[in-house]
Structure 1
Amino acid sequence: MNMAKRPVEKYDFKAFGEAIKEARKGRKESRKKVSDEMYISPRYLANIENNGQHPSLQIFFELIQRYNISVDQFLFDSPAGKDTNRRQLDALLDDMSDTGIRIVTATAEEIAKVEKEGR
């Protein structure tokens, strides 16, 4: 029996790579630091970030955890659950003191009030 290759469009990882690069730079982490800590080559990370190279499932998983990236935006047309910005904010809030949380809450309430007035 001749098994023809499935005519499936390969998933484009370019947007994922861009999100990883942006998150890494946002944390001011060098590609070398990240690749050393993850035991991968800097070239492999550069290819994921710049060329849309498909990461292994393990590396994909480690990167989304490291940078609190939501995979929903890459896998689904409509965002299900929390997007990356909300996940990254959640991660910041998790490490914040009660005082910090009060400041952020007051700031968010003020922004909401100003935006409501602007409508």
Structure 2
Amino acid sequence: MAKRPVPKYDFKAFGAAIKAAREGRKESRKKVGDEMFISPRYLANIENKGQHPSLQIFFELIQRYHISVDQFLLDTPAAKDTKRRQLDALLDGMSDTGIRIVTATAKEISEVEKEGE
């Protein structure tokens, strides 16, 4: 039986997002590899060459770095893109005082942007 001709999905954009998130958290590939029980080279290949990760590693990476896969896999815009998911994760770890500061800052930004329109 012949193989079904299916184009392989290009994981380069996903790999770049993982790399940016990892570097943003100042984590080395060795640290991530040790914690996830994968080799640093495997992670480097995912990040730099778009190597297809196993489903389990894919799932662990999106959870670890709060990556929205919608932007990579779907043609429709994501309800929450990666930056919003990462912001949500930061907010989840903040105290009530921190939330008040972020809320006040966001309100001020919103007002300044409205004035600029």
TM-score, structure 2 as length reference: 0.98
Alpha-carbon RMSD: 0.6
Provide the C-alpha distance between the structure 2 equivalents of 1:40 and 1:87, rounded to a whole number of angstroms.
Answer: 25
Q: How many residues align?
A: 117
Unmatched tracts of structure 2, length 5 or more: none
The answer to whether the aligner puts 1:99 opposite 2:100 as a matched pair is: no
Which amino acid is 1:106 matched to?
A: A
Map of 1:12-51 to 2, 5 A cutoff? 12-51=10-49
Determine the C-alpha separation between the residues in 1 that align with 2:41 and 2:99.
39
Give the CA deviation at 1:40: 0.3
1:21 Cα deviation from its structure 2 partner = 0.2
- What CA distance in whole angstroms lies between the structure 1 residues aligned with 2:45 and 2:72? 18
Rounded to whole Å, the distance in 2 between the matches of 1:42 and 1:94 is 29
Structure 1: how far apart are the matches of 2:51 and 2:110? Answer: 40
TM-score, normalization by structure 1: 0.96
Partner deviation per Cα, 1:12-53 (whole Å, 9 max, x = no partner): 000000000000000000010000100000110000000000
Q: Give the distance between the partners of 1:105 and 1:54, measured in 2 at CA.
A: 39
In structure 2, distance between residues paired with 1:77 and 1:63: 21
- Give me the whole-angstrom Cα distance separating, in 1, the residues matched to 2:79 and 2:112: 26
CA displacement at 1:75 relative to structure 2:
0.6
Taking only the aligned residue pairs, the percentage that are identical comes to 85
Residue from 2, 9, 12 that aligns with 1:11: 9
**Distance in 2 between residues matched to 1:40 and 1:22, nearest whole Å:** 19
Please state how far the C-alpha of 1:54 moved relative to its aligned partner.
0.2
User: Where in structure 1 do 4 or more consecutive aligned residues deviate above 6 Å?
Assistant: none
Which ranges in structure 1 are unaligned for 5 or more consecutive residues?
A: none
